Amino acid sequence: MSTALAILAHALRMLMFDPRQTLRVLMPALVMILGGAVATSLFAPDTLVMLESDSPQAGVPSDMGWFAAFGLISLLGFALLAVLWHRHVLANTENSHLGPALFLGYLWRALLVGVVQVLAILPLMFVLGLLSTGFAPQQGGLAIHAVTLAIGLVFIWIALRISVILPAAAIGYPLTLSQGWATTAPLQGPIWGVALMLTGLNEILFRLTELLVPAGGVTGTLAATVAFTIEGLVLISVLTTLYGHLVEGRSLGQ
């Protein structure tokens, strides 16, 4: 567990060592992410209400197009956030230019990682579906929550095992999925520990946001986006740490 703690501590230190520089590097992406979230809440409120509602809604909201447009801007902002941070921290970027080709290469690899993650958790999703339909909420609540946390844990572990291909792509030295998997094999045990801590962090941030800020509206959407951005940025920094340690030979500071 000490190695897992060292990985997470190193990732957090990189983010917090110089907050001003971190914000300066990431500002273009943060503007896209937060601007897209605010615009979505202003121009697509009906779609947000539909997505947050527990009961089925009739028809497609008229502002669905705005939701898709501004949602895409935020998603591209998250990809840019990762690319900017990887390139800021890692060495060997002098032979690659941050242009459309590199960014598109990063995007399709991120999509590929997402597909692998979804395929990996399908069995757990099936179990969750059985529990949800087979028990009343008060009967199966604990089991449903446990399976939900397990899904989050496996989802993050798979990401950590193969997503070193993303920092590699960001600096212009692409790896295949099998190469990414092989690269992280020496730390496959500690990576479970990192995944567990990240799952816990995500749960805490989600609960705090839910407790402190009412859902919906500009404030609720912005708060949820900020929490999700923090979660994503920590994961991105962990991936940068793994790549720096396993590929560039950097110390974890143990």
Which pLDDT tens digit goes with each residue over 116-155?
999 988 887 777 776 666 555 555 567 777 777 888 888 8
By the 8 A CB rule, do 23 and 250 touch? no
Asked, for residue 254, whether it belongs to a domain, the answer is no
State percent of the chain over pLDDT 90: 50
In the predicted model, is pLDDT for residue 28 greater than 90? yes
For residue range 196-234, what is the model confidence (pLDDT) as tens digits? Answer: 999 888 889 988 988 888 777 778 888 889 999 999 999
Q: For residue 21, what are the domain limits?
A: 2-246
Asked, for residue 30, whether it belongs to a domain, the answer is yes
Q: What is the pLDDT of residue 62?
A: 82
Q: What is the pLDDT of residue 92?
A: 61
Q: Count the domains in the chain.
A: 1
Asked, for residue 230, whether it belongs to a domain, the answer is yes
Question: From CA 86, how far away is CA 93, in angstroms rounded?
Answer: 10
Asked, for residue 253, whether it belongs to a domain, the answer is no
Q: What is the pLDDT of residue 44?
A: 84
Q: What is the pLDDT of residue 30?
A: 96
Asked, for residue 251, whether it belongs to a domain, the answer is no
For residue range 31-56, what is the model confidence (pLDDT) as tens digits? Answer: 999 999 999 988 988 888 777 766 66
Asked, for residue 181, whether it belongs to a domain, the answer is yes
What is the token pair recorded at 181?
């998997």
Q: What is the pLDDT of residue 64?
A: 87
DSSP state of 246: H
Q: What is the pLDDT of residue 63?
A: 82
Please enumerate in sequence order all residues whose Cβ is within 8 A of that of 40, keeping only pairs 6 or more positions apart, or say none: 48, 66, 67, 70, 71, 74, 221
In the predicted model, is pLDDT for residue 107 greater than 60? yes
Q: What is the pLDDT of residue 56?
A: 60
Computed over every residue of the chain, the mean pLDDT equals 86
Residue from 92, 77, 83, 87 nearest 28 by CA: 77
Asked, for residue 164, whether it belongs to a domain, the answer is yes
Please enumerate in sequence order all residues whose Cβ is within 8 A of that of 240, keeping only pairs 6 or more positions apart, or say none: 11, 14, 85, 86, 89, 90, 167
Question: From CA 191, how far away is CA 199, in angstroms rounded?
Answer: 12
Asked, for residue 79, whether it belongs to a domain, the answer is yes
In the predicted model, is pLDDT for residue 22 greater than 80? yes
